[in-house]
Amino acid sequence: MVNKKRLRRYLDKELTGMKNNLNDMTLQVDAEKLHALRLNAKKVKAVLGFLKESLHNKNKYAIKELQELFHTAGDIRTAQLNLKTLEDHEIKIEPFETDQKEVMEEKSKVIADKNKKFNKNISSIKKKIGQNLTSIKNNSVIAFYYDNIKILSNNFKVIDEVDLHDSRKIIKKLLYNLKILPPSLTKKININRDYLDDLQELIGKWHDTFVTLELLSKTGSVDGDHFSFLINKKEERLKKIVQGTRDFDSNVMFAKPISGR
Burial (0-12, 13-18, 19+ Cβ within 10 Å), 163 = middle
Q: Among residues 145, 200, 191, which one has the least CA distance to residue 168? A: 200
Is 108 in the same domain as 173?
no
pLDDT of 129 reads: 83
Ranges under pLDDT 50 in the chain: 257-261
pLDDT of 213 reads: 87
> What are the residues whose beta carbons fall under 8 Å from the beta carbon of 176, sequence distance 6 or more?
42, 43, 46, 47
Q: Tens digit of pLDDT for each residue in 183-233?
A: 999 999 999 999 999 999 999 999 999 988 888 887 766 667 878 888 999
pLDDT of 178 reads: 95
> What are the residues whose beta carbons fall under 8 Å from the beta carbon of 238, sequence distance 6 or more?
159, 161, 206
As for how many domains the chain has, the answer is 2
Q: Which residue, of 136, 169, 187, is where some domain finishes?
A: 136
Q: Among residues 75, 71, 70, 177, which one has the least CA distance to residue 122? A: 70
Q: Which residue, of 119, 136, 153, is where some domain finishes?
A: 136
Q: Which residue, of 136, 163, 182, is where some domain finishes?
A: 136
Is 128 in the same domain as 152?
no
pLDDT of 261 reads: 36
pLDDT of 62 reads: 67
pLDDT of 254 reads: 59
pLDDT of 222 reads: 65
Q: How far apart are CA 119 and CA 137, in angstroms?
A: 32
Helix ranges (DSSP H) in 114-192: 115-132, 138-157, 161-178, 183-189
Q: How far apart are CA 171 and CA 163, in angstroms?
A: 12
Is 52 in the same domain as 175?
no
CA dihedral 8, 13, 16, 20 (to 10 degrees): -170
Q: Among residues 106, 64, 128, 45, which one has the least CA distance to residue 114? A: 106
Is 110 in the same domain as 57?
yes
Is 83 in the same domain as 128?
yes
Is 59 in the same domain as 157?
no
pLDDT of 61 reads: 67
Helix axes 193-219, 94-113, angle to 10 degrees: 110
Q: How far apart are CA 70 and CA 34, in angstroms?
A: 11
Do the Cβ atoms of 75 and 107 come closer than 8 Å? yes
Is 36 in the same domain as 141?
no
Is 148 in the same domain as 130?
no
Instruction: Enter the pTM of the model.
Output: 0.87
pLDDT of 142 reads: 92
Q: How far apart are CA 214 and CA 185, in angstroms?
A: 42
pLDDT of 181 reads: 94
Is 105 in the same domain as 147?
no
Domain that holds residue 165: 137-261
pLDDT of 218 reads: 76
Is 66 in the same domain as 188?
no
pLDDT of 255 reads: 53
Is 145 in the same domain as 132?
no
Q: What is the 3-state secondary structure (H, E, C) of 57-80?
A: CCCCCCCHHHHHHHHHHHHHHHHH
pLDDT of 257 reads: 47
Is 130 in the same domain as 21?
yes
